[in-house]
């Protein structure tokens, strides 16, 4: 097995799910871009805006702008163009917006003059088979993740957000170069919170994840820096 080189290509993406910029910067200022990348999601972006994203980029962090765009193709294209202009490392849309929407997203990114990774959310890691059924989506959850991931690849995107539980089948079907970004990561004995499809950090990498998105197990730990160090140590042993 290969040893993940966490220094050159950190595998952990810390979800900065904070209510304001000072709280997010308090953690970012203690971390180092060689230890992790950072994710800005809907809560923080709505509160702190593009300026915070640019600040994190200027600090040298790879920033995943997790706004999960899902709208008509023209609107998503323009949103992706604007997001890519912030200099982020990665951004995303919802695969359930369909192939034309994802193709428009890709065109929008191309127009920005930047080259972030563009990925699509398949089925949220908080969802389970029962929730899928309640939405009237037929088949197994894994089948639906695979269907949306194939559509994402056909649209020319770089990868998907999925659970590491689906990583083995996606990796074998979609190839080594398709990026699998996996939230729902929980160290052994950690609280699941609102996540349903969870995997430990080391198991997620063994299953084929490219990047691990981790929020509360780090940000709500008594010592977030130590929690990140522990997880980086765990995955360095693979």
Ligand X SMILES: O=c1ccn([C@@H]2O[C@H](COP(=O)(O)O)[C@@H](O)[C@H]2O)c(=O)[nH]1
Active site residues: 66, 68, 71
Strands 12-15 and 90-94: unpaired
Q: Which residue is nearest to ligand X (CB)?
A: 215
Question: Nearest approach, Cβ of 193 to ligand X (angstroms)?
Answer: 5
* Total number of residues that touch ligand X (CB under 6 A): 15
Rounded-to-integer distance, Cα 56 and Cα 88, Å: 9
Q: Is 220 annotated as a binding residue?
A: no
- Residues 12, 14, 15, 132: which binds ligand X (CB under 6 A)? 15
Q: Determine if 166 is a binding residue for ligand X (CB under 6 A).
A: no
Which part of the chain contacts ligand X (CB under 6 A), choosing from 77-85, 130-138, 142-150, 212-220?
212-220
Ranges within 132-151 binding ligand X (CB under 6 A): none
Helices and strands (DSSP H and E) totals, the chain? 10, 8
Q: Determine if 125 is a binding residue for ligand X (CB under 6 A).
A: yes
User: What residues pair up with 38 in beta bridges, in sequence order?
Assistant: 14, 63
Rounded-to-integer distance, Cα 118 and Cα 63, Å: 12
Q: Determine if 124 is a binding residue for ligand X (CB under 6 A).
A: yes
Rounded-to-integer distance, Cα 153 and Cα 165, Å: 19
Q: Is 75 annotated as a binding residue?
A: yes
Rounded-to-integer distance, Cα 195 and Cα 135, Å: 18
Residue numbers in the known binding site are: 17, 39, 66-75, 125, 186, 195, 215-216
- What are the residues binding ligand X (CB under 6 A)? 15, 17, 41, 121, 124-125, 161, 183-184, 193, 195, 213-216
């Amino acid at each position: 097995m290969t040893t993940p080189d966490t220094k050159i290509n950190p595998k952990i993406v810390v979800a900065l799910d904070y209510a304001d910029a000072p709280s997010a910067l308090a953690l970012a200022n203690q971390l180092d871009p060689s230890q992790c990348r950072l994710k800005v999601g809907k809560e923080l972006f709505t509160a702190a805006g593009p300026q915070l994203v640019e600040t994190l980029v200027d600090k040298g962090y790879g920033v995943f702008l997790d706004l999960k765009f899902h709208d008509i193709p023209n609107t998503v294209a323009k949103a992706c163009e604007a997001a890519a202009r912030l200099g982020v490392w990665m951004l995303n849309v919802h695969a359930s917006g369909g192939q034309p929407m994802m193709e428009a997203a890709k065109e929008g990114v191309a127009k920005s003059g930047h080259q972030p990774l563009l990925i699509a959310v398949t089925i949220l890691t908080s969802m389970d088979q029962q929730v899928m059924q309640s939405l009237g989506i037929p088949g197994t959850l894994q089948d639906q993740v695979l269907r949306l991931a194939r559509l994402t690849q056909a649209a020319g995107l770089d990868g998907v957000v999925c659970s590491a539980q689906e990583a083995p089948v996606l990796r074998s079907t979609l190839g080594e170069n398709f990026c699998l970004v996996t939230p729902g990561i929980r160290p052994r004995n950690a609280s699941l919170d609102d996540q349903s499809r969870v995997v430990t950090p080391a198991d997620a990498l063994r299953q084929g994840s490219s990047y691990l998105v981790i929020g509360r197990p780090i940000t709500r730990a008594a010592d977030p820096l130590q929690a990140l160090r522990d997880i980086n140590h765990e995955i360095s042993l693979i």
